[in-house]
Amino acid sequence: MTTENTSAPNFIRTIIEADVAAGKNDGRVGTRFPPEPNGYLHIGHAKSICLNFGLARDFKGTCNLRFDDTNPTKEDVEYVDSIKEDVRWLGFDWGENQFYASNYFERLHELAIRLIKDGKAYVDSLSAEEIRQYRGTLTEPGKNSPYRDRSVEENLDLFERMKNGEFEDGTHVLRAKIDMAANNMVMRDPTLYRIRKAHHHRTGDTWCIYPMYDFTHCLSDAFECITHSICTLEFENNRELYDWVLDQFSDLPGRPRQYEFARLNLSYTVLSKRKLIQLVEEKLVSGWTDPRMPTLSGYRRRGYTAESIRDFCERIGVARADNMVDIALLEHCLREDLNDRAPRVMAVQDPVKVIVDNYPEGEVEWIDFPYHPENEAMGSRQVPFSREFYIERADFMENPPKKYFRLSPGKEVRLRYAYYVTCVDVIKDADGNVTEIHVEYDPKTKGGWSEDGRKVKGTLHWVSAQHAIDAEVRLYDRLFTQENPNDMEEGKTFKDAMNPDSLTVITAKLEPSLKTVEAGSHWQFERLGYYCVDPDSTPEKPVFNRAVGLRDSWAKKVNK
């Protein structure tokens, strides 16, 4: 468990405090994070992970990692591996407490037989479609299946034969005998077991019947002595069944209680696993780790830090009301974290060449640049300055508006840590595009200071043309332009809804110190944003992902 400050209060924490104070479960707290290994973890899972592991940490309890692997047709080891990696990356450790629902198949099967013997479960031989019809509707009660009153012996025999593979998929199910007229639809004789002649990623072909979520989850919690089983709001109706199942057995090792909280919704972000799977399968993104994906592995590759995501989860809180968190908060958390830890380097994304007319040709000065002006411990490196360099195209304007601090004809600006330069000429092509800017430098301003005390308002970032290295830079924009992409009508394809400009690949000019850089390392390109070295990156062809841009009050002003 990571050691950190205690989290902010929330209603679940309040409940647990009261339970501990009342001596429930001998004051012990046990939680669990129970993903189904049918996809990669996303930021919504991070909320649950931080909640469950955070509670265990703060109450000196345990948090189990349990794979809810009861549906072999959807699950895969690739997912369990990625889930473990992502939870660890986020900064949590389940220690020895790793479990699989599939490890309980034997025990669950025994309990199912006990239910049958107690007359609380029966084998139904209706088709799926018939079961649906018999279930009734929201306003009308259902009716009993004609198979509901089979004898215990017959049920036992049928269930045994289901297990032995004598029947085809869909021909029989085991159902709890509860109440077909219950107002809560979940209680209308829920299915406990179904036949699925499919290979399971852990149990192989040992089983051809698999327990359903409602039967498995509560009992798994009980087996593991979970005290507080925390899930999302859509399982509220299932709580009655959760308790019903546990109440059928008096000899369980634990008696967990289920609590629900509102799942995370993030603006401009799809967080439904079904849709994320679709994006991957339809190859609309490069995969689960595509930096545009809201998966933890996507964010990681994009350049988000575990620290920033934990901070985000802490700040959004935990409540029972539906929510839509502004993506700006996530970005704020990232900037705040990276501001302290990302070394500052120089890069030009949209270069225009500048020539210093009065600077000797062939001369090169290596200037000492601190990696972080506010943190000397981060050290420095040498950056070359020469007669020709690149600046950002947006840092020059031939006819600037008032309050424009950057370069324009006749105007003097500072090249960061280098010299003051004044624009003396502009060369344009036939279309009027600026191709070359000529400046004159003041040799007495070396290092970026003027001895006579004259001040310049603008400071530009620059990269020596002769030393610049070319790097691929991937700029990301939101994958969906709609604030709530979950509202997308069914039938409408993702292609229609996706932002065609969600990925822009450009070639940028970088200072030579960036030639060899570690994959996954974070950098601030001064005045541009925070970038992370992509795993695709090589010294021959560096690749950077822009995690998030810097706030830009000038751009904001100009856009008005």
Please report, in angstroms and rounded to a whole number, the separation of the first and last CA atoms in the chain: 48
Residues 89-118 that bind RNA (CB under 7 A): none
Residues 31-90 that bind RNA (CB under 7 A): 34, 36, 68, 70-71, 74
DSSP secondary-structure letter at 142? Answer: -
Question: Is 255 marked active-site?
Answer: no
Judged by CB under 7 A, the stretch of 41-49, 91-99, 192-200, 289-297 that binds RNA is: 192-200
Per-residue b or e along 57-95, where b marks 16 or more CB atoms closer than 10 Å to that residue's CB: bbbebbbbbbbbbbbbeebeeebbebbbebbebbbbebe
Binding mask 197-216 for RNA (x = CB under 7 A): -------------x-xxx--
Distance CA 138, CA 129 (A): 17
Nearer to RNA, 128 or 152 (CB): 128
Check residue 305 for interaction with RNA (CB under 7 A).
Answer: no
Residues 462-521 that bind RNA (CB under 7 A): none
Q: Which of the following is catalytic: 255, 263, 381, 393?
A: 263
Identify which of 502, 520, 47 has the alpha carbon closest to the alpha carbon of residue 266: 47
DSSP secondary-structure letter at 515? Answer: S
Check residue 383 for interaction with RNA (CB under 7 A).
Answer: no
Q: Which of the following is catalytic: 13, 32, 36, 300?
A: 36
Check residue 173 for interaction with RNA (CB under 7 A).
Answer: yes
Check residue 25 for interaction with RNA (CB under 7 A).
Answer: no
Query: At its nearest, how many Å lie between RNA and the CB of residue 107?
Result: 16
Distance CA 181, CA 123 (A): 19
Binding mask 340-379 for RNA (x = CB under 7 A): ----x---------------------------xxx-----
Helix (H, G, I), strand (E, B) or coil at 523: strand
Nearer to RNA, 253 or 453 (CB): 453
Q: How many residues does the chain have?
A: 560
Judged by CB under 7 A, the stretch of 228-236, 243-251, 379-387, 424-432 that binds RNA is: 228-236
Query: At its nearest, how many Å lie between RNA and the CB of residue 71?
Result: 4
DSSP line for 285-333:
SSSTT-TTS-BHHHHHHHT--HHHHHHHHHHH---SS---B-HHHHHHH
Nearer to RNA, 250 or 553 (CB): 553
Nearer to RNA, 9 or 520 (CB): 9
Question: Is 202 marked active-site?
Answer: no
Paired strand residues for 476:
503
Question: Is 263 marked active-site?
Answer: yes
DSSP secondary-structure letter at 179? Answer: -
Query: At its nearest, how many Å lie between RNA and the CB of residue 536?
Result: 26
Residues 312-341 that bind RNA (CB under 7 A): 315-326, 328-329, 332, 335-336, 339
Residues 238-277 that bind RNA (CB under 7 A): 238, 262
Query: At its nearest, how many Å lie between RNA and the CB of residue 264?
Result: 9
Query: At its nearest, how many Å lie between RNA and the CB of residue 503?
Result: 23
Distance CA 121, CA 149 (A): 10
Segment holding 17, helix H or strand E: helix 11-21
- Say what the alpha-carbon torsion angle 466, 467, 471, 473 is, to the nearest 10 degrees: -90
Q: Which of the following is catalytic: 257, 273, 301, 302?
A: 273
Per-residue b or e along 522-545, where b marks 16 or more CB atoms closer than 10 Å to that residue's CB: bbbbbbbbbbbbbeebeeeebbbb
Judged by CB under 7 A, the stretch of 156-164, 281-289, 499-507, 523-531 that binds RNA is: 523-531
Nearer to RNA, 238 or 295 (CB): 238
Identify which of 344, 321, 96 has the alpha carbon closest to the alpha carbon of residue 224: 96
Count residues contacting RNA (CB under 7 A)?
Answer: 93
Check residue 526 for interaction with RNA (CB under 7 A).
Answer: yes
Nearer to RNA, 14 or 358 (CB): 14
Nearer to RNA, 68 or 221 (CB): 68
- Identify the sign of the CA torsion 97, 100, 103, 105: positive
Nearer to RNA, 264 or 479 (CB): 264
- Say what the alpha-carbon torsion angle 115, 116, 121, 127 is, to the nearest 10 degrees: 140
For the annotated catalytic residues, the residue numbers are: 36, 263, 273
